[in-house]
Structure 1
Amino acid sequence: MTLLGAIIAGGEARRFGADKAAARLNGLALIDHVARALGGQTDALVVVGREWGGLPSVPDRPRGGEGPLGGLNAALHFAHEQGHEAVLCAGCDTMPLPPDLGLRLAPGPAVVEGHWLMGYWPAMLAGQLDRWLDDQPDRSIRGWMRACGARMVAVEAAFYNINTPEALAQAEAALSSVAQSR
């Protein structure tokens, strides 16, 4: 089975107040942290919602402004078009990702409990998500999870969802203290 790693990076970052994907954590852009983590457990990567560092990229689908589901939909279609069977998906602002995240979530559809965008999605769901987006006023990832029967998987890990500069500072302090204790 071939697995596509998808980094969802098309958000507006209103709470962050700047380009969140490019913000630095321990000297590396947030999006690069996620690319490294996903790249180690997938066959290929794609950035959804923006261009970044020479990686393949696709716009949200069917258009921008659909929120995380527009990113997931684009990733599913790209995976299907490129011959991948599934997508391991994460936002550009959530870390650290476990090195065995895909194994923990497979088979999909499945998401990390409390981190609804972090998931394992069969590429064959692309058409179903298209139809759901056409018919549903509810654009929530949780609504889509219910519609497609996604499992929620408890993952014992401390994730940082970096939506504000303060959250970035907290993550940097926490990760630095972990590194110093080793």
Structure 2
Amino acid sequence: MDAELDVVSADPPTVRGPEAEGGLSAVLAFAPDGRLRTRIDAGGGYGRIHHAVVEDGRLFAVTATESGRGALFSGVVAFDLASGAELWRKDAGDAALDVTDGRVTMVRPGCNGDLMFGLDAATGDEEDEQGFRDRWVTAGSVLTYQDLVIVVRGGGKPHPFSVYERW
């Protein structure tokens, strides 16, 4: 294949292919023997995958569906890497996410400040929701460490950040 691939995960080996002429890009997961295990289209009823993270045999993707009137769906969708089946989806707007220790942490910028969601990675059930006064134009990335949530602003330089403590 003559293409650039983005590595999503080393374990299991998972890559995202570029948008192909006449088709959509896809996320490909491979078995230990190198054979293709699963193909998840980077676009579908859940929107287009903008960013993806692999944890515990699942793909967690930030997605958005756009139309002339704005986004129809934007949020996080979880897929099973063994079967490619969609497990759950959570409407969260244009959110940045981190998946660690069975928990999905999303931060969505808003008019009145950032809004953080904590979800159970297996079910998508909301476990926590907190609002913060900081207001980012875009949330570039999220990193969690113990009870801290670090949000790095995207969309320009420099990249200031905020650190929140979960309540």
Normalising by structure 2, we get a TM-score of: 0.29
Higher RCO (CA-CA < 8 Å; seq separation 6+): 1
More strand by share: 2
Normalising by structure 1, we get a TM-score of: 0.27
More helix by share: 1
